Amino acid sequence: MGELAIDNHVRYIVSIEKRKDDFESVVMEHLRMNGAYWGLTALDLMGKLDSVDVDEVVSWVLSCQHESGGFGGNIGHDPHLLYTLSAVQVLALFDKLDVIDVDKVTNYIVSLQNEDGSFSGDIWGEIDTRFSYIAICCISILHHLDQINVDKAVKYILSCKNMDGGFGCTPGGESHAGQTLAITGSLDLVDKDLLGWWLCERQVNSGGLNGRPEKLPDVCYSWWVLSSLIMIDRVHWISKEKLIRFILDCQDTENGGISDRPDDAVDVFHTYFGVAGLSLLEYPGVKPIDPAYALPVDVVNKIFFSK
């Protein structure tokens, strides 16, 4: 079994962050904020956040903020909850949360909660359980969880539970449910054995995890499924060794980066989820990540315990 090619992955991520013009091609342009979060968090987990220029990143993040308080995926792009959380997470990585007007961002998030407790992603109103997690995670990092209706938000998420123990209609719904319930202190509302059984069934012969029965394994589920299993205390139900081997097999050891499956093309999204998965698996040389906030544990501790 190979090892994690940290230096190559760092080089790969830094080269993408620098290539603003073709950031994983133009397709990624509107997702640049998410890309920054994925790449920078992976760097931090590998202990290499100092490979980037803090001031440059922070000023770019701020230039993506709108009057409404929300952030766009890039300069001049419409605001959305997805990018707002990524922006807040990036600033948290650098310990720069004090550069934003917290009340303004909080008001933006509060304005997107619906009567039934759910959240819309933006003013156009698409609803998804992911947005509940994103809103709650973001507003919690800003120390304003009391500004939204948490009870209604939790009730809405529980209403999306499926018979088999899974949650929601989107891949990763289980994890978003787990993370939201963890942040709001509501994990006791979940049948941990039923959900844990559904989650551990996601491991296939190659050691990788899939997001739904009969689907191919994908490195990104190393994060979604593992983080949920950890939060409900059932991670011992899967083979950690086989999963580590699967993630390491998805590396491009020459040029850096991690792909969804062995021998596929690498991208920053899977590089982040691969490194984050290894972090949850306590792989040597990778900093621990918080399964609920998707940020390094030391960053989360600074947010909540250094006040």
Each residue of 129-153: pLDDT tens digit? 889 999 999 999 999 999 999 999 9
Q: Is residue 50 included in any domain, yes or no?
A: yes
Q: Are 243 and 282 in contact (CB under 8 A)?
A: no
Q: Are 151 and 199 in contact (CB under 8 A)?
A: no
Residue 65: which of 78, 52, 54, 82 has the closest Cα?
Answer: 78
- For the chain, the maximum distance between any two Cα atoms, rounded to a whole number of angstroms, is 52
The mean per-residue pLDDT over the stretch 99-117 comes to: 96
Q: Are 139 and 109 in contact (CB under 8 A)?
A: yes
Choose the weakest-confidence range: 18-27, 140-149, 202-211, 295-304. Answer: 18-27
pLDDT confidence of residue 157: 87
Q: Is the predicted pLDDT of residue 123 greater than 50, yes or no?
A: yes
Q: Is the predicted pLDDT of residue 4 greater than 70, yes or no?
A: yes
pLDDT confidence of residue 130: 86
Per-residue pLDDT tens for 28-63? Answer: 566 789 999 999 999 999 999 999 999 999 999 999
Q: Is the predicted pLDDT of residue 283 greater than 70, yes or no?
A: yes
Q: Is residue 99 included in any domain, yes or no?
A: yes
Q: Is residue 1 included in any domain, yes or no?
A: no
pLDDT confidence of residue 23: 46
Q: Is residue 100 included in any domain, yes or no?
A: yes
Q: Are 40 and 90 in contact (CB under 8 A)?
A: yes
d(CA 256, CA 10): 7
Retrieve residue 272's tokens. Answer: 């982040």
pLDDT confidence of residue 69: 96
Q: Is residue 213 included in any domain, yes or no?
A: yes
Residue 202: which of 185, 218, 179, 178 has the closest Cα?
Answer: 218
Number of helices (H) and strands (E), helices first, in the chain?
13, 0
Q: Is residue 139 included in any domain, yes or no?
A: yes
Q: Is the predicted pLDDT of residue 20 greater than 60, yes or no?
A: no
Retrieve residue 92's tokens. Answer: 């948290």
Q: Quick one: what percent of the chain has pLDDT higher than 90?
A: 74
Q: In terms of residue numbers, what domain contains 219? A: 6-305
Structurally, the chain folds into a number of domains equal to: 1
Strand pairing partners for 71?
A: 65
Helix/strand/coil for 120: strand
- pTM of the predicted structure, to 2 decimals: 0.93
Helix/strand/coil for 72: strand
The domain spanning residue 207 has which CATH number?
1.50.10.20
Retrieve residue 273's tokens. Answer: 């989820």
Residues in the chain: 307
